[in-house]
Chains A and B, each alone.
Chain A
């Protein structure tokens, strides 16, 4: 069966009894098998998914389905702890870790009846923008350039989550975003990726990278699906003291695609001669489109935009070096023996972590060490205040901000630069949002001259996800982006 459903399609088919959850789940498991070359999944939970699908069919038959979405198979980034299903963070050090508990976000999905197909590949500990740092190898972008058949990066760190949605290896997926890890891969794969406000979604049970920046969110085919999945995963969790105490919102029910009277800010600091012509064109067309639909376009300034990336590369490694201290070969994960305890730690961490993770732990340790703490870590926290202040001031005058999501479309896997700083620049448009803790979404807008997707980013103030989704829906409904990858990996 050929299938490329979104959450609403699948909901309707299940409600009309045109398909069972078992059939649906089986079809997606078949798609995963056919798409093995894309390397999207670290672990496929075949038996678990089919057993849960049967239970879902029984619930529906008896009229006890948990939600309208009960029985729909989704993919989970391999950073969410899932009870009895291996969770690796795409790292060798956790390559044998089987959690005995379920993260709050995935529990919320189970409570809505969603079926976990398996664990999606990502950059190791979510550190990367290409998915190349995974211990399990690169994810291949389902999109190919019309000019070449070179394998392209899907972006990262939620590269598997984005590629799996684009390739129909799940109906929707969960990712996490610390500096752009949902929005950047969404942009490179023609999918919708939403990073919620910091605190909107519980971080409990998610392998921690940078705790003051990490936030889980949906990667989907449509804005409606993003609203549905955000609604399912969000809400206060007493197990996460940084989760917001605000009431859960009905993002899907309250979707409304009007932008009449909405003010959209265009930050001049995001404009650059280095931006590809096609990305600039997409950005300009989107401004015009919003204007014709009744929005007002306003030029704004976010003066500290260019300071965000260096700030991020102090704060995120600092928090990571602390969070990753727990991987010591004692409590879980792999152990490499040494002559004594200290050598055991050093050997374990040396073979257990990949190069990028080691770089970040070392930099993080450096900026937190005696004599450098004030000059780097406190300095970065102060600049973070300035970045947050820029956004606060901007939102006094505008409802939302429109920017490109990424400085380029997908590039070839072998073309990643040697200098890590060059790779960091992929997140230049997404990182300021994490530092300010505000929500943002990337939606596909057009394809470039090589038929590769271009994503645009919409940003709103804290806890204004509804406004964010509404503007995104307005754009989606106006352009009807309908490009799809040609599925070169299968004969279907």
Chain B
């Protein structure tokens, strides 16, 4: 089973991953194989079953909202590919 190539290009757009033409064929084959594999679950009857999103049986823990002086803008910006003043810099968004 191959994954439809147009759907794959759409998925690439949704995922913000450019899919090169020369990768399209092998990727649609791989994704087809994976989908075929995960489709096995469809035969299971889960009508009466509740979903599990997390296995920890514990109420959400709250903590006090205390200000800490860590990870300053300067520190964080050290890893930014591009910055201006105290800000991350990106290509122009509005013409």
Q: Do A and B come from one complex?
A: yes
A288 to chain B, nearest CB (A): 33
Chain B binder among A2-10, A292-300, A344-352, A443-451: A344-352
In the complex, are the beta carbons of A212 and B20 less than 8 A apart?
A: no
Interface positions of A (Cβ within 8 A of B): 96-98, 100-101, 198-199, 212, 236, 238, 241-245, 307, 309-311, 313-314, 321, 325, 328-335, 337-342, 344-347, 349-350, 353, 358-359, 361-363, 365-367, 369, 375-376, 378-386, 388, 419-421, 424, 435-438, 462
10 other A-B residue contacts (CB within 8 Å) besides A361-B17, A366-B35: A100-B75, A100-B76, A100-B79, A307-B41, A328-B16, A332-B80, A341-B91, A365-B14, A382-B46, A437-B54
| Residues from chain A with Cβ under 8 Å of B17 in the complex | 346, 349-350, 353, 358, 361-362
In the complex, are the beta carbons of B90 and A341 less than 8 A apart?
A: yes
B6 at the interface (CB under 8 A from A): no
Interface positions of B (Cβ within 8 A of A): 8, 11-12, 14-20, 27, 30-31, 33-42, 44, 46, 49-58, 60-61, 63, 70-71, 75-76, 78-82, 88, 90-93
In the complex, are the beta carbons of B18 and A347 less than 8 A apart?
A: yes
Given contacts A331-B80, A347-B18, A420-B30, contact A307 B44 (CB under 8 A): yes
Bound form: Cα–Cα A473–B37 in Å: 38
Bound form: Cα–Cα A340–B16 in Å: 13
| Residues from chain A with Cβ under 8 Å of B11 in the complex | 362, 365-366, 369
Bound form: Cα–Cα A393–B83 in Å: 55
B40 to chain A, nearest CB (A): 5
> Could you write out 18 A-B pairs with CB less than 8 Å apart?
A98-B79, A198-B56, A212-B54, A238-B61, A307-B40, A314-B38, A330-B88, A333-B81, A346-B12, A349-B17, A365-B15, A366-B11, A367-B38, A376-B41, A386-B46, A421-B37, A424-B37, A435-B55
Bound form: Cα–Cα A405–B55 in Å: 22
| Residues from chain B with Cβ under 8 Å of A383 in the complex | 41, 44, 46, 49
The residue from B34, B38, B42, B76 contacting A359, defined by CB atoms under 8 A apart: B34
In the complex, are the beta carbons of A359 and B14 less than 8 A apart?
A: no
B5 to chain A, nearest CB (A): 13
The residue from A340, A380, A386, A437 contacting B91, defined by CB atoms under 8 A apart: A340
| Residues from chain B with Cβ under 8 Å of A243 in the complex | 61
In the complex, are the beta carbons of B38 and A419 less than 8 A apart?
A: no
A405 to chain B, nearest CB (A): 21
In the complex, are the beta carbons of B55 and A310 less than 8 A apart?
A: no
Bound form: Cα–Cα A285–B85 in Å: 67
Interface centre among B39, B44, B82 (most CB of A within 10 A): B44
Bound form: Cα–Cα A244–B60 in Å: 10
Bound form: Cα–Cα A363–B34 in Å: 8
Bound form: Cα–Cα A321–B40 in Å: 22
In the complex, are the beta carbons of B61 and A329 less than 8 A apart?
A: no
Bound form: Cα–Cα A161–B57 in Å: 30
Q: In the complex, which residue of chain A has the Cβ closest to the Cβ of B75?
A: A100
Bound form: Cα–Cα A365–B81 in Å: 26
B56 to chain A, nearest CB (A): 4
Q: In the complex, which residue of chain A has the Cβ closest to the Cβ of B63?
A: A238
| Residues from chain B with Cβ under 8 Å of A321 in the complex | 15
In the complex, are the beta carbons of B15 and A361 less than 8 A apart?
A: yes
| Residues from chain B with Cβ under 8 Å of A334 in the complex | 81
Bound form: Cα–Cα A363–B17 in Å: 12
B74 to chain A, nearest CB (A): 9
Given contacts A332-B80, A359-B31, contact A382 B49 (CB under 8 A): yes
Bound form: Cα–Cα A488–B89 in Å: 50
In the complex, are the beta carbons of A101 and B70 less than 8 A apart?
A: yes
In the complex, are the beta carbons of B53 and A381 less than 8 A apart?
A: yes
The residue from A238, A313, A341, A384 contacting B37, defined by CB atoms under 8 A apart: A313
Bound form: Cα–Cα A335–B91 in Å: 11
Bound form: Cα–Cα A382–B46 in Å: 6
Given contacts A97-B79, A331-B88, A340-B91, contact A199 B71 (CB under 8 A): no
In the complex, are the beta carbons of A344 and B91 less than 8 A apart?
A: yes
The residue from B33, B35, B38, B81 contacting A335, defined by CB atoms under 8 A apart: B81
In the complex, are the beta carbons of B38 and A313 less than 8 A apart?
A: yes
The residue from B16, B20, B61 contacting A241, defined by CB atoms under 8 A apart: B61
In the complex, are the beta carbons of A378 and B51 less than 8 A apart?
A: yes
In the complex, are the beta carbons of B18 and A346 less than 8 A apart?
A: yes
Bound form: Cα–Cα A358–B18 in Å: 10
| Residues from chain A with Cβ under 8 Å of B78 in the complex | 98, 100
